[in-house]
Amino acid sequence: MRNILQSAIAVTFCTAFHGLHAQPAPDGWRFSAEAGALHQWESGIDKGGDLSANAWSFRASASRAWTPTLRAGLSAGVGQRNYRFSGDTGFGGSRPWSNVRDARLSASLNWQANESWSVFAIPTIRWSAETGAALNDGRTGGLLAAATYRVNDRLSIGPGFGVFSELEGDTDWFPILAVDWRITDRISLRTGRGFASTRGPGLTLVWDASESWSFSLGGRYEKERFRLDDDGIAPNGIGQETSVPLYLGLTRSFGPTATFSVIAGAKVGGRLRLEDEHGELLEESDYDTAPFAGATVELRF
């Protein structure tokens, strides 16, 4: 299922996708900061017990137009996802893992090769580990790259790829579809973003109701993989959560400098996986559809 979803909606985790279809402009430096929080309500685990989670994230970025056709920048972020297991889970005991910290550093490059073709690349280093484990033990890296073709004033589309290293696993390759399609003056289909550090921008249908308000319907594939501490049932092992969040969003823009967004939806196809320190499977279980809601604030300078 993972490979099917990655091929269908797949693009991967980076908020640097924001504005990836915009053409570079020679207007100097741009700065932005984004903070968000999300709550996932309790849902049942197939092997018994329940799971809920809270998450927060902060990201800051800067980019500069170095030439009329080339823009490049850096982005850094931190976050945490707090998992809560209740009852006799039957999955890795009563608490296979708890609070997972995350840090990431990305570069971005957007080059307008000519009037028709644009190229972007996003190399990323990420650290993800449970509290009590060394962040460096959860380090991975990867690259997103794609080329988009400007079909007309309303449609840009193109292929690409993502490649990421895995904790104690094989390198993860998958295709990307980058799309920015203005179906009408107010409705568009875009490559969407995931929440904060999650692997998983997918596709988003957006209705711009006015200059200040927009509504969205989206879906994406998410994958969280992280190093565990040395005190649990799998010392120095690996935890993993995969799911497909489907959501509705509402965004309020305050001119060109600020936006406030709220989302609500449900995760489907959720699965938990517990591995030992060598990446060998110990436990695996699905969990029920999990409702969630969140909010983000972004400032641009």
Quick one: which of 109, 52, 81, 13 has its CA closest to 270?
A: 52
Contact yes or no for 17/11 (Cβ under 8 A):
yes
Contact yes or no for 238/225 (Cβ under 8 A):
yes
Q: Higher model confidence: residue 160 or residue 26?
A: 160
- The CATH number of the domain where 238 resides is what? 2.40.160
Per-residue pLDDT for 12 more than 70? Answer: no
- Concatenated DSSP letters for 215-249? EEEEE--EEEEEE--SSSSSTT-EEEEEEEEEEEE
Q: How confident is the model at residue 91 (pLDDT cuts 50, 70, 90)?
A: confident
Q: How far apart are CA 257 and CA 259, in angstroms?
A: 7
| Number of structural domains the chain divides into | 1
- β-partners of residue 284 are 273
Segment among 128-132, 188-192, 224-228 with least mean pLDDT:
188-192
SS3 17: helix
Per-residue pLDDT for 70 more than 60? Answer: yes
Structure confidence at residue 60 (pLDDT): 97
Q: What is the mean pLDDT of the chain?
A: 87
Q: How far apart are CA 173 and CA 199, in angstroms?
A: 13
- In our burial notation (b when 16+ CB lie closer than 10 A, e otherwise), range 154-193 reads ebbbbebebebeebeeeebebebbbbbbbeeeeebbbbbb
- Concatenated DSSP letters for 46-69? TTSSEEEEEEEEEEEEEEEEEETT
Can you tell me the mean pLDDT for 35-59?
95
Q: How far apart are CA 248 and CA 262, in angstroms?
A: 9
Q: How far apart are CA 228 and CA 238, in angstroms?
A: 5
Per-residue pLDDT for 31 more than 60? Answer: yes
Query: 8 CB contacts (<8 Å, ≥6 apart)?
Result: none
Backbone phi and psi for residue 135, each to the nearest 5 degrees, phi listed first: -55, -35
pTM beyond 0.95: the answer is no
Contacts 24+ apart (CB under 8 A), 61-67: 61/16, 61/31, 61/32, 61/33, 62/29, 62/30, 62/31, 62/32, 63/29, 63/30, 63/108, 64/28, 64/29, 64/30, 65/24, 65/25, 65/26, 65/27, 65/28, 67/24, 67/26
Structure confidence at residue 294 (pLDDT): 95
Per-residue pLDDT for 10 more than 60? Answer: no
Q: How far apart are CA 59 and CA 197, in angstroms?
A: 9
Domain membership of residue 220 as a residue range: 2-300
pLDDT in tens, 146-178: 999 999 999 999 999 889 999 987 888 888 888
Degrees, nearest 5: CA angle 193-175-190: 35
Other CB atoms within a 10 A radius of the CB of residue 153 amount to 7
Segment among 85-89, 95-99, 194-198, 246-250 with least mean pLDDT:
194-198
pLDDT in tens, 168-223: 878 888 888 889 999 999 999 988 665 444 445 578 999 999 999 999 999 988 88
Indicate the DSSP class of residue 277: T
Q: Higher model confidence: residue 253 or residue 176?
A: 253
Q: Where are the alpha helices (DSSP H) in the chain?
A: 2-9
- β-partners of residue 217 are 205, 248
Can you tell me the mean pLDDT for 261-282?
95
